Structure 1
């Protein structure tokens, strides 16, 4: 294909004649329901451009809105955009009366003909409009649509009403007289229409419409040339939105920073091989662990700076906490009772924080049970691999004090000549089995975590996602790391730790490459060759306006889940930092893995998945917090591996260790307390050094601070002019 046909002066299609969103109704949705839904959408300024009834199957609505409606919505949700028309641009709140200040014609590939909104902003605005369409109008207690829900679909509305601690969750048709009066007095709307349709299995897809030419341009600029590491971040953000833009920015930033520990780890490995040392006795590896921690602290700080700079450029840096809650994305599933807000004085839906905290305890208990299951699977796997060996440390494990996790019948099969001989390739079978078990448990807990998080009843999409991310990360990170921590700090066997780390890290890397890159590409080629999917004209991918075939093909694609992409990279960062003293080559392998990961993620987004819904974000959020926890913990783990798990410090402190038997060294009993003091003292020094770096290097770059102060100055000047006598005289 000739990519030169993609014109650089391409602009987005006219919004009022091109759909922005597709809604697919399932066959059980009646024609009467769909007609009433269309009328309800029209009452809220949403234009239905087309309605396609497939033969005996689903019905597809393609919707948009007038430009004026979208501009009003942009002002309501406090959308921030870069201004033009002055020597230095600033990022400010969008205001319709000053719309000319925000029309930037220098970025035509990502914006409309007026240079006002990007594709991501269009998708955000139309989804905000859609989420604010309720079953009933303000003050209504019944309508043909609500009556149809009551009689045919038995919908229960997700709004509780509190009148002296009295609540009702029933259908609006059965409200008491006092509750109906309350509706009229306060003008409370009923449940979100789209949420009701999805919850009761009437709608199964609400998908932003793709822009084929921009989609193809992102794919081309990410995949070619093969050697490139810089990504079209601005183009990705303008098309896919803030969350995905921050993810690809994180991937690009991390991959570049990995070159330093990667090259250093390769030198340490070459020196160790040249000297004939093992990972247990190498005297240079401890220094690599310490340097890796300091590198990780610098990486985290400079990523924060880069993240804040991007957040300012993308208009999400300076939103207050109230604005984040109210304007980012309020969950339509949120339940509660009505009260008068102490902040705004308006009636709002409220849920007691104490009730949610009690539910947190329930979630923690369920998660603890699942973690116990994962730990049991890990113990079985380590026995099958022969990693639990009481005989290797006879002074610690005796007849009077047996090993609590040793299972002789399972460990026997790992002996030489047995089924899972640890010295042969058959020894990798239990490792592969453990990885499969981890993958299965993760899938099971994913469903459990989603149910628990919904049960906790979070008000906003951001808090809901953060809670879900925290649960799933703790469980999946536990699955990935528990065996490594067990070998490092309970068995204190650095050789086995290194073997397990190499096996798990490399198998997981191969799994990522196969499942996310190779297999999806092969499946797509196979489907195209056998006409299993709708065959699209290759030239259609160069169009700005999507054709009917492209829109239908988009609905059949899988949905995109960003959690797995972030999870894999944060877990990888843990392998690189937490166990740097055990596997210095992890950084170098991670560079190659990330190079493939970036392209596989791009392929998945542009070719294999639906265009995801757009959410505003001010950064990587919870993922940055989790990465920070891993990095700061790595100071302790690397010190413990060097001092307690291995013999790496014996070269420097020989008098602090005693040789119990050949191949096994233990702390000297007389100076053991001093060695513990030195190890933890070194860890404290590393942490203090990291804190010193944080104190010296500010999180917010100076140029961003200057821009914020300049924006505030311009605002004050504008307000002064608007209230000046000269301006009033001109009016």
Structure 2
């Protein structure tokens, strides 16, 4: 009887434990060991079932050999009866071992450096502030890289909470990406990424700490997800500051730095939006004073000017006053204020980038990322790099043998990669060519190169139409008697009768208003629908049968490229408001309104609709900084060309100062002066209109050419060359003025604030002092216990080393 009872208890114990566990539990069945990672798989009997089973057994056995603890949930215990779960817990020994390997910095003493003096305007900004506990969820400490041999140096009050959940899942993920699972075809196979790709596992993720809409009942749960949702991810909080320290603590520095950048970019847009709105209002209030629009709309002037057809044979002659409304709207964006705004935005871009460097430097200090780049380059090699590089050499810093790629292989891969990139960009195809490329050594190098290559493709896809309208459309069309044809077949496209600038403005309005709004709706709705569809069966089950790991499994995956697409969306927007802003001063205002919504949409979907991403460190926005710098320089050139060649500003100024004959109204007669005359009888049969109901003799077209009765019939007139010279001179002057101001501003603003520099030096000094005193105390203990002569020599050697460290 006792044997039967024991077998029954063993058989039903997992189900009993699960029923008694809270649905929000993030611990093993014992309620003590925290779940740091979850693996999921479908145990189906397909043709590869045995192979997948062997891979899982080997992989999980090696995980246990590495010191991780595993607890398995059979598919019968899942809410759908199909998915098996493997819960992973990192023991203290594993955590301290890999904390040393990953050079994780941990607290050694509470920071006693006085905080910055309070801003007198803080009382005015109080409505925008969040509670102190939300903004700063943990005290500030002096930190040092963890070492197993110096555990008593660190502030270890509780081993179960000393390493934060984000640190724990980062350590476990490091082990998972390097854990072997066997050999195939003589090659060593390893890493959870391969097992996910070949279907051995279907998911691998850390857990959220609770449900987002209510706090967990477990007193050991910090409920940070709930706090983030209530204080950050709701749209009604759009006017509040972001809890960056809490975001960093929960999601890691990489996601934290993205939201810090997005928030700072949105704040800086406010100034650009105000200035752009003022320029737009100037155009609106001076619309009735625009002489060009008056002449076009005047029946006695524009109504009597017959314009040449805009296409061959099928198009009709038209009167200039039919473009009355579009010419009035064009003045909203083609006026003197637009020129000022183009120059202003060139300076604004520099201020934005320089002030962001300062903000980023402050975050690096506050988040203990000052030495991160060096750590990244030295310690965290990519598993793929280690697998593919068979050669080894000694690292001059660590003095250890490590894989490396010979220079000859790098050169070959670089040439193949470069050729491939140029080829695919030229024909607008996607980016799946990475297996030809030079193998990046670290995760940072890999992400930076992938980001740069993918951005080049997206740059062509997003901006090609705007560049075409701004710089090519209507520029090389010829004239009515000799139109330019592409491949001797297709006639080059002409601009809208009101000019190309209004077309570019219309295109930017569609992108900045319609496309951005639809993009935000899509970002929010799609994952919500997918999650709703995935959870539809779970709603019929009792709460305690739908565990925390199952709830998170049903969420969407953020993915390795999730953050890339978030950055891409904002950087593409940055390009639209800088590269073509001379044609649309309202672009920054629309971008500001979008970004206020974007921050809350991104935070909402990350907090509620996606699995918790693996925490990752980053000390900056990476290669995106270089991309922004490049676009800032390019924007000066593009806006100068837009003002010179796309708008009518330069021709109007030339007419104002040279050709105008009416002193009372200097712009009177400009429209007639800007149109050339063509004799209809000179039309060749190829493009001669089929209909000429009123038997017109001449028609007009936009250009500066000699009339048909001139000896230089239809050749460019001297006025054309004067205007061209003025356009080129304007481009040179504008570029030089803006670049000089940009470089001067960049020189005047240091990248790192003075107080941050002082704090970094002060913290380094105090940290070294603490370490020195620790070493000194340990040596004094050994002096009392060991031989005097040997200990004194050791003391002198160590003291000298510490003094040298302090001096450095």
1:33 deviation in Å?
4.4
1:337 deviation in Å?
1.0
Q: 1:288 to 1:534 in 2, by over 3 A?
A: same
Normalized against structure 2, the TM-score is what? Answer: 0.66
The structure 2 residue matched to 1:692, chosen from 721, 741, 744, is 744
More deviation in 218-227 or 37-46?
218-227
1:705 correspondence with 2:757: yes
Equivalent residue for 2:427? 373
Equivalent residue for 1:70? 95
Q: Deviations over 1:118-166 (max 9, x none)?
A: 222121112123334334xxxxxxxxxx3xx5xxxxx24xxxxxxxxxx
1:651 deviation in Å?
5.4
CA distance in structure 2 between the aligned counterparts of 1:306 and 1:537, rounded to whole angstroms: 48
The structure 1 residue matched to 2:36, chosen from 7, 12, 20, is 20
Equivalent residue for 2:66? 44
The structure 2 residue matched to 1:486, chosen from 464, 468, 490, is 468
Q: What SS does structure 2 have at the residue aligned with 1:581?
A: helix
Q: 1:16 to 1:351 in 2, by over 3 A?
A: farther
1:218 correspondence with 2:200: no
Equivalent residue for 2:799? none
Equivalent residue for 2:337? 284
Q: 1:313 to 1:114 in 2, by over 3 A?
A: farther
Q: 1:595 to 1:11 in 2, by over 3 A?
A: farther
Is the 2:373–2:619 contact (alpha carbons within 8 Å) kept by the matching residues of 1?
A: no
The structure 1 residue matched to 2:522, chosen from 515, 522, 529, is 515
Q: What SS does structure 2 have at the residue aligned with 1:700?
A: coil
Q: 1:727 to 1:672 in 2, by over 3 A?
A: farther
Equivalent residue for 2:564? 563
Q: 1:703 to 1:218 in 2, by over 3 A?
A: same
Equivalent residue for 1:476? 458
Q: 1:522 to 1:207 in 2, by over 3 A?
A: closer
CA distance in structure 2 between the aligned counterparts of 1:537 and 1:292, rounded to whole angstroms: 58
Q: 1:280 to 1:21 in 2, by over 3 A?
A: closer
1:274 correspondence with 2:285: yes
Q: 1:669 to 1:280 in 2, by over 3 A?
A: farther
Is the 2:645–2:727 contact (alpha carbons within 8 Å) kept by the matching residues of 1?
A: no
The structure 2 residue matched to 1:659, chosen from 658, 674, 680, is 674
CA distance in structure 2 between the aligned counterparts of 1:610 and 1:454, rounded to whole angstroms: 32
1:506 deviation in Å?
2.8
Is the 2:389–2:403 contact (alpha carbons within 8 Å) kept by the matching residues of 1?
A: yes
Q: What SS does structure 2 have at the residue aligned with 1:37?
A: helix
Q: 1:703 to 1:274 in 2, by over 3 A?
A: same
Equivalent residue for 1:597? 598
1:300 deviation in Å?
0.8
Equivalent residue for 1:330? 382
Equivalent residue for 1:250? 261
Equivalent residue for 2:512? 505
Q: What SS does structure 1 have at the residue aligned with 2:751?
A: coil
1:124 correspondence with 2:146: no
Is the 1:52–1:59 contact (alpha carbons within 8 Å) kept by the matching residues of 2?
A: yes
Equivalent residue for 1:259? 270
The structure 1 residue matched to 2:400, chosen from 318, 338, 346, is 346
CA distance in structure 1 between the aligned counterparts of 2:198 and 2:85, rounded to whole angstroms: 17
Normalized against structure 1, the TM-score is what? Answer: 0.73
1:244 deviation in Å?
0.6
Is the 2:381–2:441 contact (alpha carbons within 8 Å) kept by the matching residues of 1?
A: no
Is the 1:20–1:126 contact (alpha carbons within 8 Å) kept by the matching residues of 2?
A: yes
CA distance in structure 2 between the aligned counterparts of 1:42 and 1:25, rounded to whole angstroms: 18
CA distance in structure 1 between the aligned counterparts of 2:425 and 2:177, rounded to whole angstroms: 37
Q: What SS does structure 2 have at the residue aligned with 1:559?
A: coil
Q: Deviations over 1:105-127 (max 9, x none)?
A: 9xxxxxx8876322221211121
Q: 1:642 to 1:193 in 2, by over 3 A?
A: closer
Q: What SS does structure 1 have at the residue aligned with 2:38?
A: strand
Give unpaired runs (5+ residues) of structure 2.
1-23, 44-48, 114-140, 211-222, 288-327, 476-499, 660-672, 677-699, 705-718, 786-808
Is the 1:279–1:495 contact (alpha carbons within 8 Å) kept by the matching residues of 2?
A: no
Is the 1:26–1:57 contact (alpha carbons within 8 Å) kept by the matching residues of 2?
A: yes
Give the 5 Å matches for 1:526-545. 531-532=536-537
Give the 5 Å matches for 1:333-482. 334-343=387-396, 344-374=398-428, 445=430, 448-449=431-432, 451-452=433-434, 456-482=438-464
1:663 deviation in Å?
8.3
Is the 2:334–2:647 contact (alpha carbons within 8 Å) kept by the matching residues of 1?
A: yes
The structure 1 residue matched to 2:735, chosen from 683, 698, 705, is 683
Q: What SS does structure 1 have at the residue aligned with 2:336?
A: coil
Is the 2:516–2:594 contact (alpha carbons within 8 Å) kept by the matching residues of 1?
A: yes
More deviation in 492-501 or 690-699?
492-501
1:601 deviation in Å?
1.2
Is the 1:656–1:671 contact (alpha carbons within 8 Å) kept by the matching residues of 2?
A: no
CA distance in structure 2 between the aligned counterparts of 1:652 and 1:584, rounded to whole angstroms: 21
Is the 1:280–1:648 contact (alpha carbons within 8 Å) kept by the matching residues of 2?
A: no
CA distance in structure 1 between the aligned counterparts of 2:421 and 2:635, rounded to whole angstroms: 25
Is the 1:453–1:464 contact (alpha carbons within 8 Å) kept by the matching residues of 2?
A: no
Give the 5 Å matches for 1:301-320. 301-320=354-373
Equivalent residue for 1:554? 552
Give unpaired runs (5+ residues) of structure 1.
1-9, 106-111, 136-145, 150-154, 157-169, 172-189, 375-440, 541-546
Equivalent residue for 2:179? 133
Q: What SS does structure 2 have at the residue aligned with 1:90?
A: strand
1:354 deviation in Å?
3.9
Equivalent residue for 1:412? none
Q: Deviations over 1:62-109 (max 9, x none)?
A: 10111232122112211124543452343432345555765499xxxx
Q: 1:258 to 1:536 in 2, by over 3 A?
A: farther
Q: What SS does structure 2 have at the residue aligned with 1:25?
A: strand
Q: 1:217 to 1:205 in 2, by over 3 A?
A: same
Equivalent residue for 1:634? 635
CA distance in structure 2 between the aligned counterparts of 1:455 and 1:673, rounded to whole angstroms: 45
CA distance in structure 1 between the aligned counterparts of 2:227 and 2:637, rounded to whole angstroms: 45
Q: 1:710 to 1:537 in 2, by over 3 A?
A: farther
1:46 deviation in Å?
1.0
1:209 deviation in Å?
1.8
Q: 1:701 to 1:39 in 2, by over 3 A?
A: same
Q: What SS does structure 2 have at the residue aligned with 1:609?
A: coil
Kindly report the root-mean-square deviation, in angstroms, between the aligned alpha carbons of the 2 structures.
3.3
1:700 deviation in Å?
1.4
Is the 1:307–1:619 contact (alpha carbons within 8 Å) kept by the matching residues of 2?
A: yes
Is the 1:19–1:62 contact (alpha carbons within 8 Å) kept by the matching residues of 2?
A: yes
CA distance in structure 2 between the aligned counterparts of 1:494 and 1:641, rounded to whole angstroms: 8
Q: 1:527 to 1:335 in 2, by over 3 A?
A: closer
1:600 deviation in Å?
1.6
Q: 1:19 to 1:717 in 2, by over 3 A?
A: same
1:23 deviation in Å?
1.4
CA distance in structure 2 between the aligned counterparts of 1:126 and 1:526, rounded to whole angstroms: 31
Query: How many pairs align?
Result: 586
Is the 1:92–1:711 contact (alpha carbons within 8 Å) kept by the matching residues of 2?
A: no
Equivalent residue for 1:405? none
1:715 deviation in Å?
4.2
Q: 1:193 to 1:11 in 2, by over 3 A?
A: closer
1:326 deviation in Å?
3.8
CA distance in structure 2 between the aligned counterparts of 1:663 and 1:584, rounded to whole angstroms: 29
Equivalent residue for 1:380? none
